[in-house]
Chain A
Amino acid sequence: MKEFLFTKTHEWVQFLNETAARIGLTDYAQKELGDLVFVNLPEVGDEVTVKEEFADVESVKAVSCVYSPVTGTVKAVNEDLLDQPELINSDPYDAWFIEVDHISAKEELLSGEEYEQFIHEEE
């Protein structure tokens, strides 16, 4: 199991190798958002840019943006989420949004411990 790294905007990244990674939303994020009812995902081949929005998720309360922790190209999209956005609620670390390759830049990422600390301070 590869290590999960985190952003301050509550995304997780799991690097598959130096230039490829999977991205999803953290458990804290899904709890804050509540039951998700809709997900908007990019398409394979789209470019994503560090700290820029690449997807959005909709709960009964609001629509929220999901930001990319890396710059690269979308290699795969988890289409299961389109029909079953509840997977993000039930198993956030399994419910990856996209797989990105050709990663050329990444933001400063937090370790699991640092992220825990960060949410603690946020609260």
Chain B
Amino acid sequence: MELIFEKSKDKRGCDILPSCDVPVVEPDGKYLRRKELHLPRMSETDISRHYTELAGCTYGINNGFYPLGSCTMKYNPKVNEETANLPGFLNIHPLQTAHTVQGCLEVMKLAEEYLCEITGMDYMSLQPAAGAHGEFTGLKLIRAYHRDRKDDKRTKIIVPDSAHGTNPASAAMAGFSVINIPSTKEGYVDLEELRKAAGEDTAGFMLTNPNTVGLFDRNILEITKIIHDAGGLAYYDGANLNPIMGIARPADMGFDVVHLNLHKTFSTPHGGGGPGSGPVGCRAILEKYLPAPRIQKKEETNESIGRVKEFYGNFLVVVKALTYILTLGGDGLKKASENAVLNANYMMNQLKNTYPVPFEGPCMHEFVMSLEELKKETGISALDIAKVLLDYGIHPPTMYFPLIVHEALMLEPTETESRETMDRVIAIFKKVYEEAQTNPQGLWDSPKNTPVGRPDEVTAARNPILRYTF
């Protein structure tokens, strides 16, 4: 497909303006551009076709199955868009005086309260723009807490080796050093290693639960106790909250601070469609450090870590998430989680005799398959399987994550997929496995039906061309 600049033709345009009804004023020469702007010149017809063609090159949850593990690509209900488009929410300005936006503040307060109820936390800030930003904010709270207590030796954050890559990155951004601890061969936090790592320099510990191989860590109370006994705080990464809504709460597991991804668990668009929203919740001991401004009647505290985002975060995303929560209600959220777990277990059980699952046992919302054996036998890797799925109109699962599983494919079907869809996908997975044995070349030649085939990722990373040159 051509770039819009390549389609541009001199003298084309779509600038039919009404005749000028005010006196023409020539600006001072020094304010005029010396070089013509580089804008494509096209007719409205061609612009419209260009963007329609581009839209056709994209793939989203509205196109088909999207089992991108750890990303919770659930369906985004249309009613969310309707509420987010209500003029009272849409046509406001962040600098409006507070008394003219009381309804919007009420929406945010209500969303905070529901999210507190779901997580068991005492307070919530909606300011962070997305998950990693939420991690950064939560870690700043931990830092402020220790600093306030003059406990300056607490400089380390413990992270299991199965963690999302953002965890160590956020910890480093927030000024901590990171200690990695290995997982057990069953995929859980290794309690002995945790005990060894925890000590008087421990600021905190970060964990997703269920973890990145889709297992709920049954030692969770022991884990958070080890951290608390060492004087650290426990951070809950909400990336995997989807299977436990209304069933288990991070606060009850012993966590002190949590971030949520409204764009995953609470059905607002993401994956190139953003923006996201990564609210941070905390226990009362951390309340005074929460980012300001907050919605409350009394004065802000001085200990706040300050702003982490202009104004109050991505408001319309919050409107969509609140719509989702209110639409489903408490029982509905619980049912959504139960179905997410049921769907993942259904797919895992249908596929595990074809694609080995290294961590056996009932999974939560997602599961990980290892293609290590297949690769040894046939040369077909996780990447090759992912590529051929594109030809079947399926978004590939997450590849090569978590790092502790070789040739990993991580599937998260979510609760919004029907049994028929999953059966169709399971059949395709099995067919592709057959092809790996009988016709590997066919897989290496895939994808054949997509706008681009296999991009040269290595050259792109080694010698990136980051700018279009005219």
B residues in contact with A85, CB < 8 Å: 462
> Quick check: B403 and A60 within 8 Å, CB to CB?
no
Interface: B21 (CB within 8 A)? no
How many interface residues does chain A have, given as a range?
10 to 19
CB distance from A84 to the nearest CB of B (A): 9
Minimum CB distance partner of A86 in chain B: B462
B residues in contact with A63, CB < 8 Å: 165
> Quick check: B461 and A38 within 8 Å, CB to CB?
yes
Interface: B400 (CB within 8 A)? yes
A residues in contact with B462, CB < 8 Å: 37, 85-86
Interface: B457 (CB within 8 A)? yes
Residue in B403, B457, B458 whose CB lies within 8 Å of A62: B403
In chain A, positions 33-82 with a C-beta closer than 8 Å to chain B are 35, 37-38, 58, 60-63
> Quick check: A61 and B400 within 8 Å, CB to CB?
yes
Assembly CA distance A59 to B403 (angstroms): 13
Assembly CA distance A73 to B458 (angstroms): 33
> Quick check: A35 and B458 within 8 Å, CB to CB?
yes
Contact with B along A1-34 (1 / 0, CB 8 A): 0000000000000000000000000000000000
Minimum CB distance partner of A37 in chain B: B461
CB distance from B459 to the nearest CB of A (A): 9
Assembly CA distance A60 to B403 (angstroms): 13
Minimum CB distance partner of A89 in chain B: B458
In chain A, positions 71-103 with a C-beta closer than 8 Å to chain B are 85-86
Assembly CA distance A65 to B51 (angstroms): 42
> Quick check: A62 and B400 within 8 Å, CB to CB?
yes
Assembly CA distance A35 to B460 (angstroms): 12
Minimum CB distance partner of A60 in chain B: B457
Assembly CA distance A60 to B461 (angstroms): 7
Assembly CA distance A71 to B461 (angstroms): 33
> Quick check: A37 and B458 within 8 Å, CB to CB?
yes
A residues in contact with B165, CB < 8 Å: 63
Minimum CB distance partner of B382 in chain A: A61
CB distance from B352 to the nearest CB of A (A): 23
CB distance from B141 to the nearest CB of A (A): 27
In chain B, positions 374-418 with a C-beta closer than 8 Å to chain A are 399-400, 403
CB distance from B208 to the nearest CB of A (A): 18
Assembly CA distance A86 to B459 (angstroms): 10
In chain B, positions 424-470 with a C-beta closer than 8 Å to chain A are 457-458, 461-462
Contact with A along B364-378 (1 / 0, CB 8 A): 000000000000000
A residues in contact with B400, CB < 8 Å: 61-62
A residues in contact with B458, CB < 8 Å: 35, 37, 60
CB distance from A119 to the nearest CB of B (A): 14
Assembly CA distance A35 to B461 (angstroms): 10
CB distance from A35 to the nearest CB of B (A): 4
Assembly CA distance A60 to B464 (angstroms): 13
CB distance from A95 to the nearest CB of B (A): 15
Q: Which of B399, B403, B461 has the most CB of A within 10 A?
A: B461
Assembly CA distance A85 to B462 (angstroms): 8
Minimum CB distance partner of A35 in chain B: B458
Q: Which of A38, A60, A62, A63 has the most CB of B within 10 A?
A: A60
Assembly CA distance A62 to B406 (angstroms): 12
Assembly CA distance A35 to B400 (angstroms): 15
Assembly CA distance A86 to B399 (angstroms): 23
CB distance from B153 to the nearest CB of A (A): 20
Assembly CA distance A61 to B462 (angstroms): 13
Can you spell out 16 A-B residue pairs with CB atoms less than 8 angstroms apart? A35-B458, A37-B458, A37-B461, A37-B462, A38-B461, A58-B461, A60-B457, A60-B458, A60-B461, A61-B399, A61-B400, A62-B400, A62-B403, A63-B165, A85-B462, A86-B462
Nearest first, the 10 A-B pairs at minimum CB distance are: A37-B461, A35-B458, A60-B457, A61-B400, A37-B462, A62-B403, A60-B461, A60-B458, A37-B458, A62-B400
With A58-B461, A60-B458, A61-B399 given, name 13 new contacts (CB 8 A).
A35-B458, A37-B458, A37-B461, A37-B462, A38-B461, A60-B457, A60-B461, A61-B400, A62-B400, A62-B403, A63-B165, A85-B462, A86-B462
